[in-house]
């Protein structure tokens, strides 16, 4: 069998890289630094994804008291620890490998601050909610590193944060259907991952460099975001001598209008005006803002 026909046998309709953008550094929050990939001017929205930030924070920098409405935030710690406190008394610390999957729904006000000394890093993904879910009750799904399911074969390891890989499924409930996989490929390893055909999907390279979509494409280094064409799966090769780590993220597009004002994401300008009013008057989900401040 020729290598071309072998490649063709892996997927009927393989995905290729259609956009490759470096996530440069910018300041956010209070003295924090992020590498923003989704959500930067060249890539404002990849339905249903609003933002992907790789964050770099040392105390006293952080993300002090701020609101959210109309979407979910997924925080995945890579190094160190972060403590969150919200206006409903929900509090917790996530450490390297842990995930907090927060559904802001109708309203959350919280702080997200480093919990330890030195540099704390991680990924934060913002996933839009459909109009029917924007005003749901806020909810948290917290997964400790030890509870995150892993699968692997032949120099490939995957942590299944959402969705399914190698026959292993995540317990996370995704209101907007989402896949979030953290792959590590040792030198010379390759992987072929199925992705639902019509979903939007992208790769964010965390460490090392990899060849994505087509065996003869150039290797792409860390901190780049790769937007993928439609198709039923993605092939990845690590031709380098070092380990490659990347997140593969996909989601079913909502195909709804997006009206956005900072941390509020709704469908219409009227709903944004209403949200600002609710926030200012401490109403419709922001009641507990009246006397709350983080410690």
Best CA proximity match to 56, nearest among 87, 72, 25, 33:
33
Please report how close the Cβ of residue 125 comes to ligand FJE at its closest, in angstroms. Answer: 9
Nearer to ligand FJE, 39 or 231 (CB): 39
Nearer to ligand FJE, 129 or 158 (CB): 129
Tokens of 278: 């609710």
Nearer to ligand FJE, 52 or 228 (CB): 52
Torsion, Cα of 65, 107, 121, 15 (10° steps): -150
Best CA proximity match to 197, nearest among 6, 12, 17, 7:
12
Span from 9-17, 28-36, 229-237, 272-280 in contact with ligand FJE (CB under 6 A): 28-36
Query: Token match 């990347």: residue?
Result: 246
Q: Of 15, 23, 29, 202, which lies in the binding site for ligand FJE, with binding defined by CB under 6 A?
A: 29
Nearer to ligand FJE, 111 or 157 (CB): 111
Touching ligand FJE, residues 156-195 (CB under 6 A):
none
Please report how close the Cβ of residue 85 comes to ligand FJE at its closest, in angstroms. Answer: 12
Q: Give the Cα separation of 141 and 151 in Å (integer).
A: 21
Please report how close the Cβ of residue 96 comes to ligand FJE at its closest, in angstroms. Answer: 14
- Rg of the chain (C-alpha set): 19
Please report how close the Cβ of residue 210 comes to ligand FJE at its closest, in angstroms. Answer: 24
Q: Give the Cα separation of 273 and 152 in Å (integer).
A: 48
Q: Of 86, 98, 112, 182, which lies in the binding site for ligand FJE, with binding defined by CB under 6 A?
A: 112
Q: Give the Cα separation of 94 and 81 in Å (integer).
A: 6
CA 86 to chain centre: 21
Please report how close the Cβ of residue 18 comes to ligand FJE at its closest, in angstroms. Answer: 25
Does residue 262 touch ligand FJE according to CB under 6 A?
A: yes
Touching ligand FJE, residues 65-94 (CB under 6 A):
66, 75, 82
Q: Of 263, 272, 286, 289, which lies in the binding site for ligand FJE, with binding defined by CB under 6 A?
A: 263
Q: Give the Cα separation of 288 and 295 in Å (integer).
A: 15
Does residue 63 touch ligand FJE according to CB under 6 A?
A: yes
Check the CA dihedral 156-158-163-165 and report its sign.
positive
Contact 77, 57 (CB under 8 A): no
Residue numbers of the site for ligand FJE (CB under 6 A)?
28-29, 34, 53, 55, 63, 66, 75, 82, 112, 124, 262-263
């Amino acid at each position: 069998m020729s290598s071309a026909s072998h490649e063709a046998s892996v997927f009927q309709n393989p995905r290729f890289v259609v956009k490759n953008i470096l996530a440069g550094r910018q300041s956010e929050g209070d003295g924090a630094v992020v590498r923003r990939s989704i959500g930067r001017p060249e890539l404002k929205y990849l339905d249903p994804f609003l933002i992907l930030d790789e964050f770099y924070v040392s105390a006293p920098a952080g993300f002090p008291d701020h609101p959210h409405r109309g979407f979910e935030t997924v925080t995945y710690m890579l190094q160190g620890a972060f403590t969150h406190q919200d206006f409903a008394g929900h509090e917790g610390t996530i450490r390297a490998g842990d995930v907090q999957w927060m559904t802001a729904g109708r309203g959350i006000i919280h702080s997200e601050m480093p919990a330890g000394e030195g540099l704390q890093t991680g990924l934060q993904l913002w996933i839009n909610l459909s109009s029917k879910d924007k005003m749901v009750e806020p909810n948290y799904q917290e997964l400790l590193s030890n509870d995150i399911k892993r699968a692997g074969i032949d120099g490939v390891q995957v942590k299944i944060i959402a969705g399914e890989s190698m026959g292993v499924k995540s317990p996370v409930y995704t209101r907007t259907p989402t896949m979030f996989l953290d792959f590590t490929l040792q030198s010379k390893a390759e992987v072929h991952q199925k992705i639902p055909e019509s979903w939007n999907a992208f790769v964010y390279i965390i460490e090392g460099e990899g060849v994505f979509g087509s065996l003869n494409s150039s290797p792409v280094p860390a901190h780049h975001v790769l937007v993928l064409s439609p198709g039923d799966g993605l092939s990845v090769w690590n031709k380098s001598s070092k380990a490659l780590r990347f997140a593969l993220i996909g989601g079913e597009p909502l195909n709804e209008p997006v009206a956005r004002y900072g941390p509020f994401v709704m469908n219409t300008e009227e709903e944004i005006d209403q949200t600002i009013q609710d926030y200012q008057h401490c109403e419709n989900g922001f009641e507990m803002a009246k006397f709350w401040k983080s410690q």
